[in-house]
């Protein structure tokens, strides 16, 4: 029958018949593509933009609700903040180079000082320091799927800069960028305007937060912000996707199930904790509508070691027992948390706070999860930190607060090393021994070790120099100062000198 249909179609539309044959061969080649009773294939034929437009708002609001009401989700985002941004934020180590290829330390120090001053109040409201701002931006990015920051450069009407460098950021939640604002004729999809090559021209954002019910004008007008003045950090999962999706997009239902199941077990455990007894009647002739032989309500006092002898003939006392909380709760929760961790780039031990295991097992998990943290960290740096630092540096130079040296290689003006939180040490002694051997063999240097510990190598050197000089001036000798041990006549040096003299006298 199929061949007859194909022949009939081929006579009218050969191309259609050819496509039918190709599709049939594809179904025969890939077993997973065949629909059957045991395999109900789920498909996603929509573009990345359309898929996010239809589901993005719901996913974002579900993730926010869980962050506000589910302790596990709050812990997940807290740990991602700590691992991606850390307590000190993303450190920036300027590395400008002169025409001779040498790092210009003095110029780098000037940039560092101005950067530190700006870091005290980098955003428009003045409520957040730079580390606080970066952690909040990171949380919004991972939880909501995206976040925006409008750059405020130079003099702006009705705004006063709070730092020496006239540069600030106005942070905007994803809600400010409407998902349903489309104008194909202008290249606008989900509030993002692009040219024919899909390069972003700008963003159409609301003037006020659409969810702020304190405003009674209910205005939803938008304004256009050019791409060069807006930073858009989005968690994209598909090529050509304009808007981002929450990190929890694939585990939202699992997290909701965990919360519901735990709530059910918690309620059941509370009911089981309440002592409930009943009196089983025997012969119906002894049954009294009032519950006893008299007219007063009947009660049974309960006390440790008591003996109750007030049962009527034919009665028996029973207790309503409960097997809650279920013994299966912990195993179920563990399995679900492992699945949640795998879908959020988070280590299971970190997500569940279960740190049982050997040193090797813990380190293996830490190394694997650290790769996920570093990936998110690098994406945050590439999309946010680097853009902010370079634009801030341009404003600092344009405002005259930074004087560019004449011998600077202009191609290296923006050079910088960006440092985030590093992998913590499980066993400090083993880690330190490993780094010591790597440096001895030439496989690493001191600067790399300092950065691996979250320190700025130049600042560390300056602090060490000042500390050693202070100790020497006061006659304080520590094992960290090798100079005293080998050249200042310490016990080891004196002993070595005495041995050399003895050997010399024997030779003479």
Residues 432, 437: Cα–Cα separation, whole Å: 9
Q: Are residues 192 and 122 in the same domain?
A: yes
447 domain-assigned? no
Q: What is the pLDDT of residue 378?
A: 94
492 domain-assigned? no
Q: Are residues 168 and 271 in the same domain?
A: no
428 domain-assigned? no
235 domain-assigned? yes
Span 402-410, average pLDDT:
95
Span 309-333, average pLDDT:
75
Q: Are residues 29 and 73 in the same domain?
A: no
76 domain-assigned? yes
Q: Are residues 211 and 347 in the same domain?
A: yes
| Structural domain span for residue 17 | 2-33
| Proportion of the chain above pLDDT 70, given as a percent | 84
In the predicted model, is pLDDT for residue 285 greater than 70? no
Q: Are residues 174 and 61 in the same domain?
A: yes
Task: Spell out the long-range contacts of 270-279 with Cβ–Cβ below 8 A and sequence spacing 24 or more.
Answer: 271/322, 271/324, 272/321, 272/322, 272/324, 272/325, 275/302, 275/319, 276/319, 276/320, 277/317, 277/318, 277/319, 277/320, 278/317, 278/318, 278/319, 278/320, 279/311, 279/315, 279/316, 279/317, 279/318
Which of 445, 394, 389, 461 is closest to 419 using CA atoms? 389
The structural domain count of the chain equals 3
Q: Are residues 133 and 79 in the same domain?
A: yes
Span 281-288, average pLDDT:
64
Residue found by looking up tokens 């300056």 in the block:
462
In the predicted model, is pLDDT for residue 159 greater than 50? yes
Q: Are residues 350 and 219 in the same domain?
A: yes
Which of the residue ranges 43-57, 267-281, 460-474 would you say has the lowest mean pLDDT? 267-281
- Highest mean pLDDT range out of 68-77, 262-271, 300-309, 443-452? 68-77
Q: Are residues 242 and 389 in the same domain?
A: yes
43 domain-assigned? no
104 domain-assigned? yes
Q: Mean pLDDT, the chain, as a whole number? A: 83
């Amino acid at each position: 029958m199929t061949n007859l249909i194909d022949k009939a179609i081929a006579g009218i539309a050969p191309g259609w018949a050819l496509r039918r044959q190709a599709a049939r061969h594809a179904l025969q080649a890939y077993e997973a593509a065949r629909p059957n009773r045991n395999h109900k294939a789920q498909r996603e034929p929509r573009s990345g933009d359309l898929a996010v437009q239809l589901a993005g708002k719901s996913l974002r609001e579900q993730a926010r609700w869980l962050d506000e009401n589910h302790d596990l989700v709050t812990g997940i985002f807290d740990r991602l903040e700590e691992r991606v941004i850390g307590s000190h934020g993303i450190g920036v180590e300027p590395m400008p180079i002169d025409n001779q290829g040498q790092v210009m330390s003095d110029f780098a120090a000037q940039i560092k000082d101005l950067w530190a001053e700006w870091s005290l109040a980098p955003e428009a409201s003045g409520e957040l320091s730079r580390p606080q701002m970066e952690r909040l931006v990171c949380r919004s990015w991972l939880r909501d799927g995206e976040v925006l920051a409008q750059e405020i450069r130079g003099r702006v009407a009705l705004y006063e800069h709070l730092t020496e460098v006239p540069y600030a950021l106005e942070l905007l939640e994803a809600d400010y960028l409407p998902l349903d604002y489309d104008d194909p004729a202008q290249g606008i999809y989900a509030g993002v305007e692009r040219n024919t090559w899909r390069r972003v021209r700008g963003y159409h954002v609301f003037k006020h937060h659409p969810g702020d019910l304190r405003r009674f004008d209910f205005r939803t007008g938008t304004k256009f912000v050019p791409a060069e003045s807006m930073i858009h950090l989005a968690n994209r999962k598909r090529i050509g996707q304009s808007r981002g999706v929450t990190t929890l997009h694939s585990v939202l239902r699992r997290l909701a199930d965990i919360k519901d199941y735990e709530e059910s077990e918690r309620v059941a455990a509370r009911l089981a904790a309440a002592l409930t007894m009943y009196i089983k009647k025997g012969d119906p002739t002894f049954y009294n509508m009032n519950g006893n032989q008299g007219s007063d309500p009947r009660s049974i006092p309960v006390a440790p070691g008591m003996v109750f002898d007030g049962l009527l003939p034919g009665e028996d006392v029973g207790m309503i027992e409960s097997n809650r909380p279920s013994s299966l709760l912990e195993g179920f929760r563990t399995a679900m948390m492992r699945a949640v961790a795998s879908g959020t780039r988070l280590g299971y031990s970190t997500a569940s706070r279960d740190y049982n295991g050997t040193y090797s097992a813990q380190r293996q998990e830490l190394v694997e999860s650290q790769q996920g943290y570093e990936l998110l960290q690098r994406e945050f740096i590439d999309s946010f930190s680097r853009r902010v630092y370079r634009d801030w540096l341009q404003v600092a130079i344009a405002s005259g607060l930074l004087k560019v040296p004449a011998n600077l290689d202009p191609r290296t003006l923006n050079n910088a090393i960006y440092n985030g939180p590093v992998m913590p040490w499980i066993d400090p002694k083993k880690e330190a021994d490993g780094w010591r051997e790597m440096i001895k063999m030439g496989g690493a240097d001191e600067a790399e070790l300092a950065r691996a510990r979250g320190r700025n190598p130049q600042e560390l050197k300056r602090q060490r120099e000042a500390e050693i000089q202070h100790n020497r001036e006061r006659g304080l000798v520590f094992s960290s100062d090798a100079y005293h041990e080998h050249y200042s006549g310490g016990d080891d040096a004196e002993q070595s000198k005495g041995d050399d003299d003895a050997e010399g006298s024997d030779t003479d």
